[in-house]
Amino acid sequence: MRNEEIENDLQKSLDDGASVWVVGDIHGFSITFENLVDILELSDNDRVVVLGDLIDRGPDSYNVVKIVQSDSRIYSTKGNHEQMMVEGFIPNGIPNKLEANLWLRNGGIATAASYIRAFTDENGQENSIALETEIVADKQWMNCLPTHLILDKWRLVHAGYDPRTDLDEQGEAEHLWIRTPFHNSQTAIDEQRCVVFGHTPTMLLFGGSNDNYGKVWYSDTRLQDGRAASIGIDTCLFHEQQLPAWLSAINLQTMEVRQMPRVEIWNDQARHLAKIP
């Protein structure tokens, strides 16, 4: 699913010489995201596109969603975690529902807790009606997010594309979930456009080497104009190793990369607190 209004706005920004920054997976680390946006020094004409996975795992997914929704300069594509929340976040749902279990096991517990905290006062009283209303509204918003955005020289997508299938025949399954066939492709997905994607932490694209934690990945396959055929920017905020954890943004106008190290303390106690309203 595309959104031509967003695509036209992004292309106009590029044509007018403004910056369009593309940001990798945030996964609930709202303070790190806010700090990254600060160092982008956005003008009114600049734009930001987050490549999905705003939520899950980190401590404050609710606030990440609110930041994106409240700034008209920031857009998002849908990630597989947004799709899991759409299908699995049921405030009064059945605990053994398959979709709910899948989401909760993949970081949804922390997201649910962040929503509950946002609607619980200092006395521990939850505003259940307002909470449910917000959940329904945010799920509708997430479900309407484009699964990819196509510009004159760029494709912006959460996971990627299947090189074995015609581009026009691909949909959510490929855009939100694909990994190996896309990563291993020896030919360009689109000879005219570079694919910028998230979803897969880049150290895995480098073969898992500890030396490559926090680095942006560039495909060895080249387009006709010499650019990398694809660029991976999920530099992995949520891992538990004593290694760099970065949120990355790449400027489509200049190819500059700016990064913010994870600000939130992410140890056993922090992960525990993230799950408790």
From first to last of its 277 residues, the chain has per-residue pLDDT tens of: 999 999 999 999 999 999 999 999 999 999 999 999 999 999 999 999 999 999 999 999 999 999 999 999 999 999 999 999 999 998 776 556 888 889 999 999 999 999 999 999 999 999 999 999 999 999 999 999 999 999 999 999 999 999 999 999 999 999 999 999 999 999 999 999 999 999 999 999 999 889 999 999 999 999 999 999 999 999 999 988 889 999 999 999 999 999 999 999 876 655 655 554 4
**The predicted structure's pLDDT at residue 240:** 85
Nearest-angstrom CA–CA distance, 95 and 264 = 30
- Segment holding 248, helix H or strand E: strand 246-251
- 223: tokens are 């387009």
Domains, in order of start, for the chain? 4-274 (3.60.21.10)
Phi, psi of 250 (to 5 degrees): -120, 135
pLDDT at 267 (0 to 100): 65
Q: How far apart are CA 25 and CA 238, in angstroms?
A: 10
The DSSP code for 49 is E
Q: pTM score, two decimals?
A: 0.95
Bridge partners, residue 251, by sequence: 21
Residue type, 267: N
Two tokens at 56?
A: 């899950």
Whole-angstrom CA distances from 209 to 196, 203, 215, 231 are 22, 6, 11, 18
Q: How far apart are CA 145 and CA 148, in angstroms?
A: 9
* Chain CA centroid to CA 87, Å: 18
**What pLDDT, on a 0 to 100 scale, did the predictor assign at position 277?**
43
Buried b (16+ CB within 10 A) or exposed e, 50-71: bbbbbbbbbbbbbbbbebbeee
Helix ranges, the chain (H): 4-15, 30-40, 61-70, 80-88, 98-103, 109-118, 128-143, 172-177, 180-183, 202-205, 268-274
CA atoms within 13 A on the CB side of 95: 0
Beta pairing partners, 76: 50
- What is the per-residue pLDDT for 263? 95
Please give the helix or strand (H or E) that residue 21 lies within, else none: strand 20-23
Q: Is 253 exposed, middle or buried (0-12, 13-18, 19+ CB in 10 A)?
A: middle
**pLDDT at site 91:** 76
Q: Among residues 73, 79, 66, which one has the least CA distance to residue 20?
A: 73
